[in-house]
Amino acid sequence: AYKRFSELLPREERESAFSARVPKSHILTLPELRANPFQERICHVFSTSETGDDSMSFEDFLDMLSVFSDSATSDIKSHYAFRIFDFDDDGTLDRKDLEQLVNCLTGQGEESRLSSAEMEQLIQNILEESDIDKDGTINLSEFQHVVSRSPDFARCGGLQR
């Protein structure tokens, strides 16, 4: 893993890789993240930089890899997944978050988005299924409850590395 990290740094900073931070643009060139529609959110969630520029140190990089590996528990994975899906960082998944999430999933470009009627119906169905206290948003425990019952999450939420 250290090798991968140091490859991302520009050449002159390789020696001090332990303490250097890699800018976001370089992180996004990793093959696993390149095709991922949630790449921006992943960088934002795992980055501990104070300046808010979403750069990642080696510790952040390790954190990201360990959460995505097969040996992470599903609690940790669902916790981080919740933070990744929460686009406005307010601690709950409301309608706007869900709409952005679905648009990310169906792809960029105008013709790949669902129509607004379909989007309404879909979000209605999702809230029906997962919103237990019926407040119109999904908080962390509701999200973890729903995700623990879905068979696909454990299989697809991991990077084979």
Partner 1 sequence: RDSQQAETERLSRWKKWRRTSSKSLKKAVSEVKGWSSYLVLWQRDIHSIEGKFGTGIQSYFSFLRFLVLLNFIIFTFMFSFVTLPIIISKNGMFNSTIAYISPKNIEDNCTIYEPTGNKGLVYFYTYLKDLFSGTGFLEVTSLFYGYYTVDAVWISVMRYNLPLAYLLATFAYLALSFLWIVKRSVEGFMQNLVHDADPFQSYCNKVFAGWDFCITDPNAARLKHRSLQYELQTDLQEEKLKQKIAERTMKEKLRIYSLRIFINIIVLAILSGCFYSIYRVTVFSQENSNVSIRNDTRTDSANLLVQYLPSMVITLANFIGPQIFSFLIRFEDYTPAFEIKLTLMRCVFIRLANIGVLMFSLWSQISDCGADKCKPCGYNYKLYPCWESDVGQEMYKLMIFDFIVILAVPLFLDFPKKLLVTHCSCKLIQLFGQQEFRISDNVLEIIYGQTICWIGTFFSPLLPVIATIKYFIIFYVKKIILIHTCKPATRPIRASGSNFFFLVVLLIGLLLAFIPLGVSIAHIPSSKACGPFRNFNTSWEVIPDTILEFPTVVQQILFSMASEAFAVPFFMIICIVMFYFIALARAHKRVVEQLREQLV
- Using left for φ > 0, alpha for ψ between -120 and 50, and beta otherwise, residue 59 falls in alpha
Those residues whose C-beta lies under 8 Å from the C-beta of residue 50, and which sit 6 or more positions away, are none
Residue closer to partner 1 by CB (options 20, 62) is 62
CB of 96 vs partner 1, minimal distance in Å: 15
CB of 86 vs partner 1, minimal distance in Å: 12
Contacting positions for partner 1 (CB under 8 A): 31-32, 34-38, 58-59, 62, 68, 81, 85, 98, 101-102, 105-107, 112, 114, 118, 121-122, 125-126, 129-130, 132, 143, 145-147, 149-153, 156-160
CB of 32 vs partner 1, minimal distance in Å: 6
Q: How many residues does the chain have?
A: 161
Question: How far from 56 is each of 44, 86, 125, 138, CA to CA, in Å?
Answer: 9, 20, 37, 29
For residue 21, list its beta bridge partners: 57
Residue closer to partner 1 by CB (options 59, 89) is 59
Residue closer to partner 1 by CB (options 11, 124) is 124
CB neighbours (10 Å) of residue 16? 9
